[in-house]
């Protein structure tokens, strides 16, 4: 099967010369103070100030998040500019080129919207999107996003841990895996005419991965609701895995006893395994995963940076894979 890809380093984006740079410079200063001798009170003040200034362009509904207290939920990297986050996406339902979703996803209708949660659980139910928005407090979490093609971003997501949804339906003792199923509507999604994948798009996690506090159900970014091209109205974000594990526009969640087969694993298992953890020591068959390019940095002179094990979240999630052969379970 031939899969059309468009690597970010082959199509450089404009330099990050925007008014947001002022904010980012100040944010770095505050974070430096927070990490110094100023102590916990200064750290909390710095985080609160940064969040107050983390805002999108004001074209979408506001969705602010409170400061997260989860370990690892806020990385101290420079934020990727909103225009790059919203303009450079993998969302094949709206086209295989990185700029296609921003151009075509206006056809996506995000209301009404429901998410069915079913399978191995004591209280299966269907949530309306408004119910989900109120299910748990919204947090802003600044996560790295590493894509398998070798590009990365730093995004201020807004949402809460997926575990809040799963606990609401009470998984049974048989539940070992969680499958996420996305919308597949040909009237809204022009990319479904392509045979690049078997639609609808499906992704899967082990239950303990899905219940980990860092596994995020995102409803927004940059203090606003998700743009359509970023997976509105809700998407999965698993920061230590490659970006394609983060299913967009979710309509169904299934708790399963047996391991599900994800869409990319089904399409080409030799390249995309079930776990898909960021591991710079395991190359993709067609390119190295040892380095990455951060979208929006230095324009045409984008520098490569070393890719971190588990995308930099090894301290938080490494124990989930203790004793596993990470070359076999890639």
Total residue length of the chain: 330
Q: Is 38 helix (H, G, I), strand (E, B) or coil?
A: coil
Closest CA to 285 of 330, 322, 319: 330
Phi-psi region of 163 (alpha: psi -120 to 50; beta: other; left: phi over 0): alpha
H-helix or E-strand spanning residue 118: strand 114-119
What are the per-10-residue average pLDDT scores of the chain (330 residues)?
39 36 38 40 39 74 95 95 96 97 98 98 98 98 96 97 98 98 98 95 98 98 98 98 98 98 96 97 94 83 88 98 96
Residue 303 DSSP one-character state: P
Q: Angle at the Cα of 156 (from 151 to 159), degrees rounded to 5?
A: 120
Cβ pair 1, 263 in contact under 8 A? no
Instruction: For residue 246, give both structure tokens.
Output: 């983060």
User: How many other CB atoms sit within 10 Å of the CB of residue 113?
Assistant: 18
Closest CA to 245 of 147, 132, 313, 175: 147
- Give whole-number Cα distances, 219 to 10, 33, 222, 298, 329, in Å: 30, 30, 11, 30, 30
Phi/psi of residue 136, nearest 5 degrees: -150, 160
- Give whole-number Cα distances, 63 to 34, 58, 139, 159, in Å: 26, 11, 10, 9
The sheet that has 125-128: what strands, in order across it? 125-128, 114-119, 250-256, 177-182, 202-206
Structural domain boundaries in the chain: 8-321
Query: How far is Cα 104 from Cα 242, in angstroms, rounded to an integer?
Result: 24
Looking at domain 8-321, its CATH superfamily turns out to be Oxidoreductase, molybdopterin-binding domain (3.90.420.10)
Query: How far is Cα 16 from Cα 289, in angstroms, rounded to an integer?
Result: 25
- CA dihedral (159, 314, 265, 209) in degrees, to 10, reads -50
Packing angle of the helix pair 20-35, 40-53 (nearest 10 deg): 170
Instruction: For residue 178, give both structure tokens.
Output: 């969680």
Query: How far is Cα 297 from Cα 300, in angstroms, rounded to an integer?
Result: 9
Query: How far is Cα 149 from Cα 89, in angstroms, rounded to an integer?
Result: 12
The residue written with tokens 């004793």 in the block is: 323
In the prediction, which pLDDT does 34 show?
40
Instruction: For residue 307, give both structure tokens.
Output: 């890719």
């Amino acid at each position: 099967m031939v899969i059309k890809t468009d690597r970010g380093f082959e199509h450089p984006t404009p330099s990050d010369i925007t008014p947001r740079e002022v904010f980012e410079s100040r944010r770095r200063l505050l974070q430096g103070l927070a990490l110094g001798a100023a102590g916990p009170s200064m750290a909390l003040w710095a985080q609160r100030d940064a969040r107050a200034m983390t805002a999108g362009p004001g074209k979408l509904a506001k969705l602010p998040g409170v400061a997260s207290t989860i370990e690892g939920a806020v990385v101290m990297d420079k934020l990727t500019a909103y225009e790059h986050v919203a303009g450079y996406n993998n969302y094949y339902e709206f086209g295989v080129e990185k700029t296609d979703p921003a151009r075509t996803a206006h056809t996506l209708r995000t209301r009404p919207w429901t998410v069915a949660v079913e399978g191995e659980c004591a209280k299966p139910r269907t949530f309306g999107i408004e119910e989900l928005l109120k299910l748990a407090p919204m947090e802003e979490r600044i996560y790295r996003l590493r894509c398998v093609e070798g590009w990365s971003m730093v995004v201020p997501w807004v949402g809460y841990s997926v575990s809040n949804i799963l606990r609401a339906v009470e998984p049974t003792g048989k539940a070992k895996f969680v499958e996420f199923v996305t919308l597949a509507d040909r009237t809204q999604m022009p990319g479904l005419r392509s045979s690049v994948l078997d639609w609808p798009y499906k992704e899967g996690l082990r239950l303990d991965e899905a219940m980990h506090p860092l596994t995020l159900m995102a409803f927004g970014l940059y203090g606003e609701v998700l743009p359509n091209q970023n997976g509105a109205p809700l998407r999965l974000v698993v920061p230590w895995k490659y970006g394609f594990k983060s299913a967009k526009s979710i309509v169904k969640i299934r708790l399963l006893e047996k391991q599900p087969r994800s869409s990319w694993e089904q399409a080409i298992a030799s390249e995309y395994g079930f776990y898909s953890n960021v591991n710079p020591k395991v190359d993709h068959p067609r390119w190295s995963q040892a380095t990455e390019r951060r979208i929006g940095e230095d324009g045409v002179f984008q520098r490569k940076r070393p890719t971190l094990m588990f995308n930099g979240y090894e301290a938080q999630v490494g124990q989930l894979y203790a004793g596993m052969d990470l070359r076999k379970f890639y």
